[in-house]
Amino acid sequence: MTIEEAQNLVDQWIKTTGVRYFNELTNTAMLMEEVGEVARIMARQYGEQSFKKSDKEVNLADEMADVLFVLICLANQTGINLTEALEKNLEKKNIRDADRHKNNEKLR
């Protein structure tokens, strides 16, 4: 699936099953909540925190998909083409960081 296809698929789901988009502020708060859920799993699975019994059934892939879903909702409702945005962002990074990371002593 392309990013454009994902944006279209989410839009169709929202308009049929979801009824309508939540407003942008609500979706921003939901995005922060979903990112927090990913962070919680990462801190336990790869960090130093331990899992609680209630954390045992977590699914990192599903939580990352929740983040992507809400991000796509925000892009759709603000008129952002994520394919174009990502392409421009990578172009900026290629110019700005052409030698930056190669010369970073911390990465060796």
Q: How many alpha carbons fall within 13 Å on the CB side of residue 18?
A: 14
> What pLDDT sits at residue 94?
92
> What pLDDT sits at residue 11?
98
What proportion of the chain, given as a percentage, has pLDDT over 90? 80
Q: pLDDT digits over 28-74, tens only?
A: 999 999 999 999 999 999 999 998 887 778 999 999 999 999 999 99
Can you give the pTM of this predicted structure? 0.89
Nearest 10 degrees: Cα torsion 90, 92, 96, 97: 0
> What pLDDT sits at residue 55?
77
